[in-house]
Structure 1
Amino acid sequence: MGTKSSGSRVFDTLPITGDYLIPYYGIVNVFVYVHEFFKESFTIEKSASRDPFAYPKTAFWRLEGEKSTDCCFWDGVECEEETGHVISLDLSSSFLYGHVDSNNSLFNLVQLRRLNLADNHFNYSHIPSDNFKHLSRLTYLNLSKSHFSGQIPWEISTLSELSVLDLSFNVDMISGEKLLQIKEPNFESLIQNLTSLEQLSLSYVNILSPVPDLLANFSSLTSLLRECGLIGEFPVGIFELPNLQTLSVRFNQELKGKLPVFKQSSSLNVLKLASTSFSGDLPSSIENLQSLNELDINACNFSGVIPFSIGKLNQLTFLDLFGNRFRGQVPSSLSNLTQITYLSLSSNDFSTGNLSWVENLTKLTYLSVRESNLTGLLPSFLGNLTQLTELKLQTNQLTGPIPGSFARLTNLEVPWLHENFFSGEVNFDMFLGLKNLSALSLSDNRLSVITKPNVNGTLPNGTIAQFKLLGLDSCNLINFPDFLRRQERLDWLYLGQNQIHGLIPKWMLNTSTETLTQFVISQNFLKGFEQLPLVLPWTNLEQLTISSNKMEGPLPIPSPSTIYFDASSNYLTGEVQSSICNLRSLQGLDLSSNRLSGELPQCLGNFSNSLSFLRLSGNSLNGSIPQTFLNRSQLMVVDLSDNKFQGQLPRSLANCTMLKYLVLENNQLTDVFPYWLGALPELQILVLRSNGFHGVIGEPHSNSEFPKLRIIDISYNSFAGKLPYEYIKSWKAMEFRSIVEESKYLNANKSIGGMSLNYNFKLTITTKGVDRYYEKIQDVLAVVDLSSNKFEGEVPTVLGNLKGLHSLDLSKNKLTGGIPTSLGNLKELESLDLSQNKLSGGIPQELTRLTFLQYFNVSHNCLTGPIPQENQLGRFESTSYEGNLGLCGIPLQNKCGNFEASEPSLSSALEEESGPFFQFGWKVVVIGYGCGFVVGLFIGQIVIAKDARWKLISTK
């Protein structure tokens, strides 16, 4: 309510554009005008304000009745006692919705000191510019959270008496777009005259500017809040401002800086640098910040050790050091921070340590030390932290049992204990007794979780334990826990990698039917459902993973809400029912390694506008592949290998522009080379092995075919003609040698809401002479396998451009000519197979440069001359060279000395029989696999053909 004064009032006097002129004594006119502007120009909409305590202040403004002439009694209006001037207008959180015009009555209140319009919805209005100069006496301006947009007007820089400026959080609530920006004038120009500022908040204003050095001169500044795209180096002098209490420049990822040596006179009580590029050490002078209440430096680049002196900050209630590179031990002095309620040390580079320092921190409500190399036992005194609501200790090396004192944490809501080395038996009733528990993860330890049979799912005191998330993977469970039958609000349930046998109980189908979204029971010994309905009953299910069990019978069909369905590696039989077509939200489907048969429903092609992962390999599916892949296809992975699919490859696969992985090996497809796949910009793996593909591979339609292809296997088909020279030239992704800094794997991933779908590419690759199954494929691997076809002609020299190649297999074709010297450029090559062709000439000396070569096979060709002995080539077994009777040298028995192991010429073939080459006792048989000449030399009869070619004649 406003302050009412006695006597006459002096009101603001100013000519106004339009029909109004407010005279010195025109009290009623002032009230009428203000009333019309604020009450009639805006509608009242509850969605315009987000504060739970918001209410429509202007709804109580009146022009008639007892207080019709005194707006100072109106809600949100404050007048000066002596003069009657309106000096404060607070309409924050008033449900105001509408557009603010530049010529409105607001700017006639020239005596205004405070203006607060925060938390309304002004419909993306620009902040009125020309009239701000009339509000020269403003000391407080708050336009935050009100959907203003555009450039912040330079006129604000003229408000030299401002002590508080808050333009934060003007953000589109749907897109997250920052609505306000500072470009012209720039940041420095906007604030250079505002030297009286005490609080400056520009959070989520789009600035993209360095922090002006002149801010270090704003001695009155107490609060500096920005999360707005700041860049450059943060002026260190700002830390030394004498009155600065709150400094937050969070979420400016390009903002760099270092912490200074703090002085004892510092008044900082809040320091937030999270998600910036601040780096360096946390100085030991941190102890001088005796007023510090909050320190948030998570996700920065700080390093070094945490100083022991941090334990002297006895006012600290909030400490977040997550995601830096702190090393060494967690200082034991943390035990002195007895006022602390929030503590996160997670994801640093600490050496091994324990939790001994946590004993005195009895006010903690949040403790996170995940991924921090913690070792040792979980201390029993953890049970003294009775205020804890969240405990995150996952992904450490903690050992031993979970102490019974855990049962004293009666306020605990979310304990994360997974991925440690906890061992021993744990009675699950201990957790059921924690009445506030909503989530629990014990997965991936060495625990044996004991659940007692309990038909009612209740404790002796009658309490029904209810979970939203329950992680019991790898907990040595042998049965479905009975307490699940009474769960009504489960969201995520993980029971994978246990020893659960038998059938999924019928009562499980009544558990959390409206809330369950994630259900994982993979890697057990389950045979199926005790009662299998036509459609599983969980109406909001998003993920169902029942893979790697012993499930028999027909394929279970989850609800239409399902996003990811994995039933792979079971014994499921029958056809894929057409009811699967109801899963319109499906983005991942894996039915591989079952016994499914019959034809696929053609609707699977229609799924391609949502489906990203499709694996049906290792079944007995037949018929044609669905033909209807859509233009908006999201498919990234298609694996239909090891089935009985027939016919042609559907041309509609060309619509799958996001496709990275296409594996169709071991089917009965009959088609020509699918040249149209070359236009797919993301394709990395193409496997057509062991089908009926045939014909000549022509030239590509452009120079950018298969731009990201790293693995191609078209072996065991009937391709003919010359090797695809022009296509090989277009395989640009294989031309670069790998630089491996850390292991990364070829994969496809996609995030949907809170769930991340990730598929690591799996593949059987013939390399180094054997078939190898890769659960993961490094992203630097490059493989070309064109073997077991009918290719002829020479090996193209352009293969030497593929300098990133690791494996090349051209075996079992009809290739002729010499081995190109350009193959010596393939410095990454580990496997080279040119066997069973008609290659002639010598082994190029350049191949000795292949220092990574582990497998080399040129057997059964027509090669001649000495085997190069440098590096690996002389160390391979003789099987790598057998069947080339013109070769000599280690490891073959043929020595090169006086015997020149070269291709016999016509003249040498006509030498007299008594010549040294035909000396009795030779048992060499130069069969030369399919060569242009064949020498047969046996003890017995020799026949020389009239066409000057040798023929092999067996004598008996």
Structure 2
Amino acid sequence: MKLESWLSKFTCLHCLLLLLLNDAHCFSFVQKQTQTLCHADERSFLLKFKESFTIDKSASSSPFAYPKVASWTREGDQNQSNCCLWDGVECHAESGHVIGLDLKSSCLYGSINSNNTLFRLVHLQMLDLSDNDFNSSEIPSRLGHDLSSLSYLNLSLSAFSGQIPSEISKLSKLSTLVLSYNNGLELRKSNMRILVQNLTSIKQLHLSGVGINSTVHDILVNASSLTSLKLSYCGLYGEFPIGIFHLPNLEELRLHSNIDLNGYFPNFNRTNSLKILDVSETNFSGELPSSIGNLHSLNYFDISTCSFHSHVPFSFGNLTQLSFLVMASFHDVSAGQFLDPDSFSCFGKLTKLNYLDLSDNNLQGNFPRFVANLTQLAFLALSDNSLTGEIPKSLFHLRNLECLGLSGNNLSGLVEFDEFSNLKKLKRLGLSDNRLSVRVKSGLSATLPKFEVLRLVACNLTELEFLKNQYELGSLELTDNNIHGQIPKSLWNATRETLVNLHLDDNFLTGFEDNPVTLPWKNLQLFNLGNNRLQGSLPIPPQSITSYIVRDNNYSGEVSPVFCNLNYLQVLNLANNSLSGMLPQCLGKSSSLEILHLMFNSFHGNIPPFCANKNSLKFVGLGYNQLQGKLPRSMADCTLLEFLHIGNNQISDVFPSWLGVLPVLKGLTLGSNAFHGIIGKPPTNHEFPNLCIIDLSNNLFSDMLPSKYMENWNFMKYVVANKGSQYFIVSNVNTNKYGNYYAFSYQMIIPVKGVELTYAQTPYDMRLIDFSSNRFEGEIPASIIGSLRGLQLLNLSNNTLTGHIPSSLGNLTALESLDLSQNKLSGRIPDSLAQLTFLEYFNVSYNHLWGPIPLGQQFGTFLEDSYQGNSGLCGELLSKKCEGSESLMPPPPSSFEEDEKAGFPLEFDWYVVLPGVVSGLIVGVVAGNTLANKKHEWFVETFGRRRKPTAARATRGRRT
């Protein structure tokens, strides 16, 4: 004890001496010798706060998260029970009151209500509850009443919801307010005015992800203390107040992803403090002003996907502090407008650039020369431009490159893959979709960089052996190359633990070396080997799989019930193989499956009871098989279903009126089955509310046309804007850390008089009704059919319809194909049809029509066989010309009888090509009597063995 007493006295004397010598470190040391004790009531408040939550590791997303409150206790020695020493708690050095609570990423799960003891800690100055899960509870208004001393408040990433309470504005001492990225927090425009008006000391205001959904209030122009303003993903619109750019202390401004927010850049003065400026994915436009060179402190600049003019001022080269620059799709591109890479030559002065993205800017010409100066570059993206010529050798001197994206250009020449051995840090490489030939020297693999992402689509590769030492490879895309033979064992040995995405579709692969029953990759999610020459049984994927795509191969045998147990499987595309047997009935119980494409196989038996449990199905394609029985009634619960194709099977059932409740069903194909009976009236006036495409052809439906259903098909009543610019896509299948996803473009095969028109991708504006080859009778409902103004294809042929052709068909101004042949229609062809300027296919043959053919631009293009079997018709294009008053009178009944006897040849096969039908989107025409012929010729004509597929090929996110 004497020794300890002496040491203590010596320490104090020593510190006093140093204190006199202005040594602040010793003062701090003395402070720590006298530990602050917390107040008993505040310790109790903290413990009750802890007890109001459970600890759940999934409640926090940070990899460094841990439960800070786990060590809080009232038991134990003084250190354990002293709340001022607890993890995340800060006390005032003199008073001992709790003034800071830092519980970010603490794995807290539960709700905060107004009775929570947190609000008893009235001396709090700093509160950070970010990155926890407060279970969609609202932010209690008491926070603004009781914690009036707060200067720092962070509630971001914590699953709060509802309106931000106006009481927050009473926290007048706040300098930092962070409420970003919660579960639907909202802030009304008026609340923003009150908020900013009262927070006179605010420096950091972060509201990204908050639903503001209004214009940006001018009050922000007066927030002179602001250093950081983040308003990304807020639904902002209108004009952005330009005065905000002139705030004297503003260093960071982020407005990302407010697509309706307009704005432009001001003339920046030299005193501007901006370091970070992000207006990407907004509607900012206008010139990049020359004064932008005055932003000497700017190190982060993102104007991607905006509408700026393409001119880059020479003063841009003054931004020498820039390390992050993204100008992808930063301007509007007019037709035929190309940018010269030399217009960006000032970028050569930006020698501190670490990240440069100029993708999707319509750059034309040789590889930009300024890139050679940017020796610090780690990320370079020039994808989706029109660059030509060879890749320069200088690129291989950028030794810091970690990511290089050149995909989607017109670069040409031979690339010696060994040159990438100089770029030791390179992890991601994209050369896809150019005119390059990549040559790999034998024995090269040991010297290559260790890639994580490799995208070499359409690069004329011939082998896979060079990947045998790629032990870090996570995403491999070698689609549309010239790779033959088997997938070598050396590849799957190297990537067994790491590979997540594999695209080897559109090659000439025949199988796997050693023919494994189970795919060897343990963490594989996306597996695409479509359009190869694979055969044998389907290999079983791992549990991690999300997309399994082996379309257009020669696989045979049955589908294993193991596929039912893949809990994350979202896409199963086995179309156009030689698979057979019965479908596993358990397949209908999958809760994750979104796209099921099994068309063009030989499956038989009953359709599984889809959607009997929780489901995610968006597309079900079972057409062109041999399935029997009835449609499972459980499909009425497929509430996410957009397309159902079960055509060309042997289904025997009545019309599935119960499918009318499906809220987003767009396409229904039931053609070429044994559906029968009267369709009748719908049970409500809201059946099939989103239907765009319906095919009931080649069935046994009878009685009148289903006019009451047609009356409800509102999506067919309007012509879609942006005609032909989009396609039906069943989308949003799971993405992963490599950015890949699989979006399925809906294919369609439309029979037109024995000819099948195949659409690789179905236009989004497609509106189609095909009721042909049934037993419908009676008249065509004039007023209803005339209201469907969005229709592009209408086929009512091969029924027993009577009466006149309605003149209201002239209202269908978008109509491109009209087939009314082989019915018992009488009267004249209405002159109103001559107004259909898009009409490219027209057939009224084998009816009882008479009179002159209408005169009009389109009617001058139709051949005589469009009218045959109507002895009373006459016109310039027919052998029978119109003469005098005879053309105005119907022919005698005997003529009708002759037409009736002539009929239509039941076994007549049409081998014709219909050029330009439906906006030129038809990519193949097939004819034949048997399923085998149809399948074979459809496959050859539509897909071809060396085609570049667009139909069911994976669509990718932004290229590397």
TM-score bucket (shorter structure): 0.7 to 0.9
Aligned equivalent of 1:516, options 495, 499, 502:
499
Distance 1:678 1:146 in 2: 40
Query: CA separation of 1:590/1:431 partners in 2, compared to 1, >3 Å: closer, same or farther?
Result: same
Instruction: Determine the structure 1 residue equivalent to 2:314.
Output: 308
SS at structure 2 position matched to 1:550:
coil
Name whichever structure is richer in helix by fraction: 2
Q: Please, which moves more after superposition, 145-154 or 818-827?
A: 145-154
Gaps of 5+ in 2: 1-11, 17-33, 904-960
Instruction: Determine the structure 1 residue equivalent to 2:176.
Output: 166
Shift of 1:681: 2.5
Question: 1:518 is matched by which residue type in structure 2?
Answer: N
Instruction: Determine the structure 2 residue equivalent to 1:819.
Output: 805
Shift of 1:52: 6.5
The question of 1:423 aligning with 2:412 is answered yes
Distance 2:766 2:49 in 1: 64
Question: 2:394 is matched by which residue type in structure 1?
Answer: S
The question of 1:927 aligning with 2:898 is answered yes
Question: 2:499 is matched by which residue type in structure 1?
Answer: L
SS at structure 1 position matched to 2:898:
coil
Distance 2:616 2:412 in 1: 44
SS at structure 2 position matched to 1:186:
helix
Aligned equivalent of 2:744, options 756, 759, 777:
759
Query: CA separation of 1:633/1:349 partners in 2, compared to 1, >3 Å: closer, same or farther?
Result: farther
SS at structure 1 position matched to 2:315:
helix
Contact 1:387 1:411 in 2 (8 A): yes
Question: 2:362 is matched by which residue type in structure 1?
Answer: N
The question of 1:775 aligning with 2:743 is answered no
Contact 2:49 2:118 in 1 (8 A): no
Shift of 1:478: 1.4
SS at structure 2 position matched to 1:493:
strand
Shift of 1:808: 1.9
Contact 1:54 1:93 in 2 (8 A): no
Query: CA separation of 1:810/1:170 partners in 2, compared to 1, >3 Å: closer, same or farther?
Result: closer
Distance 1:878 1:252 in 2: 56
Instruction: Determine the structure 2 residue equivalent to 1:625.
Output: 607
Distance 1:205 1:727 in 2: 42
Contact 1:60 1:75 in 2 (8 A): no
The question of 1:353 aligning with 2:363 is answered no
Distance 2:805 2:844 in 1: 10
Question: 1:722 is matched by which residue type in structure 2?
Answer: M
The question of 1:412 aligning with 2:397 is answered no
CA offsets 1:240-295 (integer angstroms, 9 cap, x no match): 44454555555666655443333444444444445555444333333444444444
Distance 1:876 1:845 in 2: 15
Instruction: Determine the structure 2 residue equivalent to 1:679.
Output: 661
Query: CA separation of 1:696/1:447 partners in 2, compared to 1, >3 Å: closer, same or farther?
Result: same
Query: CA separation of 1:170/1:178 partners in 2, compared to 1, >3 Å: closer, same or farther?
Result: farther
Contact 2:325 2:356 in 1 (8 A): no
Instruction: Determine the structure 2 residue equivalent to 1:941.
Output: none
Distance 2:651 2:370 in 1: 66
Instruction: Determine the structure 1 residue equivalent to 2:855.
Output: 869
Aligned equivalent of 1:713, options 695, 701, 709:
695
The question of 1:501 aligning with 2:490 is answered no
Shift of 1:216: 4.0
Query: CA separation of 1:579/1:900 partners in 2, compared to 1, >3 Å: closer, same or farther?
Result: same
Instruction: Determine the structure 2 residue equivalent to 1:339.
Output: none
Question: 1:890 is matched by which residue type in structure 2?
Answer: E
Contact 1:833 1:856 in 2 (8 A): yes
CA offsets 1:89-110 (integer angstroms, 9 cap, x no match): 556479989989669785469x
Shift of 1:828: 2.0
Question: 1:413 is matched by which residue type in structure 2?
Answer: E
Instruction: Determine the structure 2 residue equivalent to 1:540.
Output: 523
1:649-668 counterparts in 2 under 5 A? Answer: 649-668=631-650
Aligned equivalent of 1:435, options 408, 416, 424:
424
Distance 1:53 1:812 in 2: 69
Shift of 1:407: 3.1
Question: 1:477 is matched by which residue type in structure 2?
Answer: L
Shift of 1:499: 1.0
SS at structure 2 position matched to 1:466:
coil
Query: CA separation of 1:419/1:249 partners in 2, compared to 1, >3 Å: closer, same or farther?
Result: closer
Aligned equivalent of 1:802, options 788, 807, 821:
788
Aligned equivalent of 1:397, options 379, 386, 405:
386
Query: CA separation of 1:473/1:895 partners in 2, compared to 1, >3 Å: closer, same or farther?
Result: closer
Greater relative contact order structure (CA < 8 Å, 6+ sep) = 2
Question: 2:379 is matched by which residue type in structure 1?
Answer: E
SS at structure 1 position matched to 2:834:
helix
Aligned equivalent of 1:634, options 601, 610, 616:
616
Aligned equivalent of 1:570, options 550, 553, 564:
553
Query: CA separation of 1:502/1:753 partners in 2, compared to 1, >3 Å: closer, same or farther?
Result: closer
| Coordinate RMSD, CA, aligned | 4.4
CA offsets 1:444-475 (integer angstroms, 9 cap, x no match): 12222222233x9413xxxx742221112211
The question of 1:561 aligning with 2:544 is answered yes
Query: CA separation of 1:298/1:41 partners in 2, compared to 1, >3 Å: closer, same or farther?
Result: farther
Instruction: Determine the structure 2 residue equivalent to 1:260.
Output: 266
Shift of 1:373: 1.6
Shift of 1:748: 1.0
The question of 1:189 aligning with 2:194 is answered yes
1:449-528 counterparts in 2 under 5 A? Answer: 449-454=438-443, 457-459=445-447, 465-480=449-464, 482-528=465-511
The question of 1:850 aligning with 2:836 is answered yes
Distance 1:53 1:566 in 2: 37
Distance 2:131 2:839 in 1: 70
Gaps of 5+ in 1: 7-26, 329-346, 910-923, 933-956
SS at structure 1 position matched to 2:450:
coil
Question: 1:451 is matched by which residue type in structure 2?
Answer: V
Distance 1:497 1:794 in 2: 52
Instruction: Determine the structure 1 residue equivalent to 2:28.
Output: none
The question of 1:879 aligning with 2:862 is answered no
SS at structure 2 position matched to 1:730:
coil
Distance 2:261 2:897 in 1: 74
Q: Please, which moves more after superposition, 492-501 or 549-558?
A: 549-558
Shift of 1:774: 0.6
Q: Please, which moves more after superposition, 373-382 or 636-645?
A: 373-382
SS at structure 2 position matched to 1:678:
helix
In the superposition, the TM-score normalised over structure 2's length comes to 0.77
Shift of 1:745: 1.0
Distance 1:442 1:184 in 2: 47
Q: Please, which moves more after superposition, 408-417 or 761-770?
A: 761-770
Question: 2:318 is matched by which residue type in structure 1?
Answer: K
SS at structure 2 position matched to 1:773:
strand
Shift of 1:773: 0.8
CA offsets 1:385-419 (integer angstroms, 9 cap, x no match): 33221111111122233233333333221111211
CA offsets 1:570-617 (integer angstroms, 9 cap, x no match): 12222333333333322211212222222222222223x222212222
Query: CA separation of 1:53/1:590 partners in 2, compared to 1, >3 Å: closer, same or farther?
Result: closer
Query: CA separation of 1:53/1:611 partners in 2, compared to 1, >3 Å: closer, same or farther?
Result: closer
Shift of 1:75: 9.8
Distance 2:663 2:560 in 1: 33
Distance 1:597 1:515 in 2: 34
Contact 2:826 2:850 in 1 (8 A): yes
Query: CA separation of 1:824/1:523 partners in 2, compared to 1, >3 Å: closer, same or farther?
Result: same
Question: 1:469 is matched by which residue type in structure 2?
Answer: V
Aligned equivalent of 2:330, options 313, 324, 331:
324
Instruction: Determine the structure 2 residue equivalent to 1:24.
Output: none
Distance 1:357 1:792 in 2: 74
In the superposition, the TM-score normalised over structure 1's length comes to 0.78
